[in-house]
Structure 1
């Protein structure tokens, strides 16, 4: 019988581990910490900018609205006129001497100026008696008179 012919390239080779295709980048711990801190600070900065822009936008909306409203209420500094202390129905605080107030021309109710001005950015009537106290001025400079006969106002 003939002996098999052994070819050396067909002999099994000893197994050895293959080198990794892409070795992971290992950063020192301090660099990882610095990177995490940088990402956190960037996130905080973005949030602060977003909050500030939102506040600025709300203030500009309030200014724009106040340009379109002619509030029919006089501004005065509250003084002592006897024992009848008044309370602002919006913030529920007593109106102190010297505070800026608004007295509604249509109904005579008195409120802190800042409180009622904020109220008028949302509503156009007295918070106590619901009497319409604002005149709405639209962009074409047409004016609707203030009266309790208007159930709704259109700009």
Structure 2
């Protein structure tokens, strides 16, 4: 990770490392040391696919994470599913009470965006905003977002 940061020249504060619940299941003490080192460098840590694996709440107390990523499987049926909304609302409330941000993954429809904003989700990502794209295409896309004249023109 350090080597990649040095090569890129980017500050560590711009990097978010995603970890999965299953990653920390074995030898948690050794993994905590590594995660603490990353955090000490200024790198943010995100728990990916929260709720789909082991979901031990004790890990949320132990792990030095900054955000929870809400798995797409919880979002597919919102806002139509009241149970889906309840689960997502509970995850967001849990994250906020632990002073973690939340990221909703795989959002494809405006109704999902609207519901997630209403529930207080911190970040929303998915095909609704942009399709997956190669690096070179992403750079052009990001530039167009930074330049309002280009965005209006095309």
Query: Does the TM-score normalized on the shorter chain lie above 0.5?
Result: no
Report the TM-score, using the length of structure 1 for normalisation.
0.20
Greater helix share, structure number = 2
Report the TM-score, using the length of structure 2 for normalisation.
0.20
